[in-house]
C-alpha cells in the first residue's frame, strides 16, 4: 500500500494529513500559529513559526496514523495564497515577518499603479485586478522597507516566495527555490498565457527577476525531502488552497464548480484548457498545470459567508451556536419579507464595493429572530448565486453541478435554498475539508500512483445531493434582494 502526506499551510493554522492510496484519511494533526496585527489593517505571520508548525504537525500526523516517515510515497503541499516571504539565500533567514494576503498597507501603492494606467495590462496578462490582496505590492513594500534589500535583491542574494516556496526551500534543506503555477498566478507578476514570469510586469513593479522562484507544474516529482525528520520521498503535488480544493472535490471537467462555505465563500469554476475572459471583479486563474497542460478556472469570492452566522451568534445573540441556525430558520416558511445583505466589510464579487455596508430591511411588527436567521441563510446563498450568475457568460461550458464544502455547507437548509436559487444540483462529500485531499491527489498523480485523473473518480462519494426542485423559493426573494443590495451600496461614502 502507498501512503501520501498532505501539508496544508492555512492562514490561521497548519495541518498535516496522512492518507492511503484510496484517499482515506489515516491520521492528521493541526496547529494554530500567531497572527500579528502591528496596526489597523496590517497582518503578519512569522515564517519561521509557520515552518516550525508544519514540521511539528507532520511528526504528529505520522504518529497519529501509525505510519513511519520512510513509508510515505509522496508529499503534496497546499497553502494560503498571496502571502509574501522574503529571505536571505545564504542563511535562509527571513528579512521581515511575512505580509499576509489580508494586509492592506499597500493600498496607496495599488491606487497609484491604477492611476498610472497599469490596470488593463495587468488584467490582460495575469487575469487579476490591481489590489493589495495580491503579492506584488507587498514584495515592493518589503524591498523598500528592509534596509539594503533592493540592492541585495539585484545582486541575487535574496529569495521571494509565497508560503509554498518558503516551505519547499525548508523541505529541501535550502536547495529548491520553486513555486507552482497556481501560486505564481496570485502575484500580479505571472503571465497566465505564457505560463512564466512576465518581464514587462516585473519592470512596472520594479521587481528584480533574480528574486523569483522557478515555476513548476502541480503534479510532478520536484525534489526529495531532506529537511524534515526521516522523510526522504519527493514533493510531487503543489497548489494554492482554493485550487487544491477544486481538485480535491474532483471538479475535473469544464463547467464543474465548487463553493467552499467557510468564513467567506470561495467559488471556482473549471473553465477548461482555453483561457476564459472573465469580466468585472471575477478573476481568471490557472486551476492546475498537469503534464504541461494548463486548465483554467474563473474565481469569485464573497467576504461574509459563515461569518454572517457568527454575527447572529456573537453580536445579536439570537443563537447559541452556529449549528442552531438551521432549526431556527426552518421554523418559519420564509423570511417574512426580511432581507439581510451581509455587506459588513463591503461587497466582494461581482460588486466590488468597499463602501457598501450591511443592511437589514423589510422589518415589521411581526418580524422575529427566526425571520432574521432565515434572511441570513438567504443572504449567503444569494451572494453565491450572484457570483455564479456573473460567471456564466465567461464559461465555455454550461455549469454542470456545484460541489460544496466548508463548515457552513453542513447546513442542509442553506444547501436547499442554494440549489433552488441556482437551478443546479449540489453535491456534498462526507469530508468538508478538501484542500488537503486535493494536495494528496496531486502528489499521488505526480508519482504515478494512478495512471490518470479518471482513476481517482472511484474515490469520490457524495454524502448527499440537493436537487433544485426539492425546495420552492419565496417568489419575491430575488427581486427584494436586488433592491436591498442597491440600498446597501456606497453607504459608507454617503456617511462620510
Ligand atoms: P474557515 O476555514 O474559514 O475558518 P470553516 O470551513 O471551518 O471556516 O467553517 C466555519 C464557518 O462555518 C463559521 O463561520 C461558522 O459560522 C459556519 N458554520 C458552522 N456550522 C454552521 C451551520 N450549521 N450553519 C451555518 N453556518 C455554519
Report how far residue 225's alpha carbon sits from residue 323's, in angstroms, rounded to the nearest whole number.
Answer: 41
Q: Determine phi and psi for 270, rounding to 5 degrees.
A: -65, 125
* Residue with CA nearest ligand 1 atom 15: 306
Report how far residue 17's alpha carbon sits from residue 421's, in angstroms, rounded to the nearest whole number.
Answer: 35
> Are 106 and 38 within 8 A, CB to CB?
no
Q: Is 195 in the pocket of ligand 1 (CB under 6 A)?
A: no
Q: Is 324 in the pocket of ligand 1 (CB under 6 A)?
A: no
Sign of CA dihedral 265, 53, 88, 221: negative
> Are 388 and 242 within 8 A, CB to CB?
no
Taking the centre of ligand 1 as the mean of its atom positions, its distance from the CA of residue 234, in whole angstroms, is 34
* Residue with CA nearest ligand 1 atom 10: 407
Report how far residue 445's alpha carbon sits from residue 254's, in angstroms, rounded to the nearest whole number.
Answer: 20
Q: Delimit the domains of the chain by residue range.
A: 3-241, 250-433+461-496
Q: Is 330 in the pocket of ligand 1 (CB under 6 A)?
A: no
Residues 6+ apart with CB under 8 A from 182: 81, 218, 238, 239, 240, 243, 285, 286, 287, 288
Cell of 4: 501520501
Q: Is 407 in the pocket of ligand 1 (CB under 6 A)?
A: yes
Taking the centre of ligand 1 as the mean of its atom positions, its distance from the CA of residue 167, in whole angstroms, is 28
Cell of 388: 455564479
Report how far residue 366's alpha carbon sits from residue 236's, in angstroms, rounded to the nearest whole number.
Answer: 59
Q: What mean pLDDT do residues 338-363 have?
A: 90
pLDDT at 36 exceeding the cut of 60: yes
Q: What mean pLDDT do residues 331-348 have?
A: 93
Mutation choice for ligand 1 from 242, 405, 407, CB with most ligand atoms inside 8 A = 407
Matching CATH topology for 3-241 and 250-433+461-496?
yes
pLDDT at 496 exceeding the cut of 60: no
* Residue with CA nearest ligand 1 atom 14: 306
Q: Is it true that domain 250-433+461-496 has CATH number 3.30.420.40?
A: yes
pTM: 0.92
Q: Is 307 in the pocket of ligand 1 (CB under 6 A)?
A: yes
pLDDT at 495 exceeding the cut of 60: no
Q: What mean pLDDT do residues 23-45 have?
A: 90
Q: Is 263 in the pocket of ligand 1 (CB under 6 A)?
A: yes
Residues 6+ apart with CB under 8 A from 189: 126, 135, 136, 197, 198, 201, 202, 205, 207, 212
Q: Is 329 in the pocket of ligand 1 (CB under 6 A)?
A: no
> Are 267 and 384 within 8 A, CB to CB?
yes
Q: What is the pLDDT of residue 348?
A: 83
Q: Determine phi and psi for 380, rounding to 5 degrees.
A: -65, -50
Domain 3-241 is classified in which CATH homologous superfamily? ATPase, nucleotide binding domain (3.30.420.40)
In tens, the pLDDT along 448-475 reads 999 899 999 988 889 999 999 888 888 8
Mutation choice for ligand 1 from 322, 328, 383, 428, CB with most ligand atoms inside 8 A = 322
Sign of CA dihedral 145, 150, 156, 162: positive
Q: What is the pLDDT of residue 347?
A: 87
pLDDT at 211 exceeding the cut of 70: yes
Q: In percent, how much of the chain has pLDDT > 70?
A: 99
* Length of the chain measured in residues: 496
> Are 47 and 132 within 8 A, CB to CB?
no
DSSP letter at 276?
P
Q: What mean pLDDT do residues 216-235 have?
A: 96
Q: Is 490 in the pocket of ligand 1 (CB under 6 A)?
A: no
Taking the centre of ligand 1 as the mean of its atom positions, its distance from the CA of residue 462, in whole angstroms, is 19
> Alpha helix (H) ranges present in 66-223?
107-115, 119-126, 135-145, 149-154, 163-171, 181-184, 199-205
Give residue 2's Cα distance to chain centre.
28
* Residue-averaged pLDDT of the chain: 94
Q: What is the pLDDT of residue 200?
A: 97
Given the CA of residue 309, which atom of ligand 1 is nearest to it?
A: 16
Q: Is 262 in the pocket of ligand 1 (CB under 6 A)?
A: yes
Amino acid at each position: 500500500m502507498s501512503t501520501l502526506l498532505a501539508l496544508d499551510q492555512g492562514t490561521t493554522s497548519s495541518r498535516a494529513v496522512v492518507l492511503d492510496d484510496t484517499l482515506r484519511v489515516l491520521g492528521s494533526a493541526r496547529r494554530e500559529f500567531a497572527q500579528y496585527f502591528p496596526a489597523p489593517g496590517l497582518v503578519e505571520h512569522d515564517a519561521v513559526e509557520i515552518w516550525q508548525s508544519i514540521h511539528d504537525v507532520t511528526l504528529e500526523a505520522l504518529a497519529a496514523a501509525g505510519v513511519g516517515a520512510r513509508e510515505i510515497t509522496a508529499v503534496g503541499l497546499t497553502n494560503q495564497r498571496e502571502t509574501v516571504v522574503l529571505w536571505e539565500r545564504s542563511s535562509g533567514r527571513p528579512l521581515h515577518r511575512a505580509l499576509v494576503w489580508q494586509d492592506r498597507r499597500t493600498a496607496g501603492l495599488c491606487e497609484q499603479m491604477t492611476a498610472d494606467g497599469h490596470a488593463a495590462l495587468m488584467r490582460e496578462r495575469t487575469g487579476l485586478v490591481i489590489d493589495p490582496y495580491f503579492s506584488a505590492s507587498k514584495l515592493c513594500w518589503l524591498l523598500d522597507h528592509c534596509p539594503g534589500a533592493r540592492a541585495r535583491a539585484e545582486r541575487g542574494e535574496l529569495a521571494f516566495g509565497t508560503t509554498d516556496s518558503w516551505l519547499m526551500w525548508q523541505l529541501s534543506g535550502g536547495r529548491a527555490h520553486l513555486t507552482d503555477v497556481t501560486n505564481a498566478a496570485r502575484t500580479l507578476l505571472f503571465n497566465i498565457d505564457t505560463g512564466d514570469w512576465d518581464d514587462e510586469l516585473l519592470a512596472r513593479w520594479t521587481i528584480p527577476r533574480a528574486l523569483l522562484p522557478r515555476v513548476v507544474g502541480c503534479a510532478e516529482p520536484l525534489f526529495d525531502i531532506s529537511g524534515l525528520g526521516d522523510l526522504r520521498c519527493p514533493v510531487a503535488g503543489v497548489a494554492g488552497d482554493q485550487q487544491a480544493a477544486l481538485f480535491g472535490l474532483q471538479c475535473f471537467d469544464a463547467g464543474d464548480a465548487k463553493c467552499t462555505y467557510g468564513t467567506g465563500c470561495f467559488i471556482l469554476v473549471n473553465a477548461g484548457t482555453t483561457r476564459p475572459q472573465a469580466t468585472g471583479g471575477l478573476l481568471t486563474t490557472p486551476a492546475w498545470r498537469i503534464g504541461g497542460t494548463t486548465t483554467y478556472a474563473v474565481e469569485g469570492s464573497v467576504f461574509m459567508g459563515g461569518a454572517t452566522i457568527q454575527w447572529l451568534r456573537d453580536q445579536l445573540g439570537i443563537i447559541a451556536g452556529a449549528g442552531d441556525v438551521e432549526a431556527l430558520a426552518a421554523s418559519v416558511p420564509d423570511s417574512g419579507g426580511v432581507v439581510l445583505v451581509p455587506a459588513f466589510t463591503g461587497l466582494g464579487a461581482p460588486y466590488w464595493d468597499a463602501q457598501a455596508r450591511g443592511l437589514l430591511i423589510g422589518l415589521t411588527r411581526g418580524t422575529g429572530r427566526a425571520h432574521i436567521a432565515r434572511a441570513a441563510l438567504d443572504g449567503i446563498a444569494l451572494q453565491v448565486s450572484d457570483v455564479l450568475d456573473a460567471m456564466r457568460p465567461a464559461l465555455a461550458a454550461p455549469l454542470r453541478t456545484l460541489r460544496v464544502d466548508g463548515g457552513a455547507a453542513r447546513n442542509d437548509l442553506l444547501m436547499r435554498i442554494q440549489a433552488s436559487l441556482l437551478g443546479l444540483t449540489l453535491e456534498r462529500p462526507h469530508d468538508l475539508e478538501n484542500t488537503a485531499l486535493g494536495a494528496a491527489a496531486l502528489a499521488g498523480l505526480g508519482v504515478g500512483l494512478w495512471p490518470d485523473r479518471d482513476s481517482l473518480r472511484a474515490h469520490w462519494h457524495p454524502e448527499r445531493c440537493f436537487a433544485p426542485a426539492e425546495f420552492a423559493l419565496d417568489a419575491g426573494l430575488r427581486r427584494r434582494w436586488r433592491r436591498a443590495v442597491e440600498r446597501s451600496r456606497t453607504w459608507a461614502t454617503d456617511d462620510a
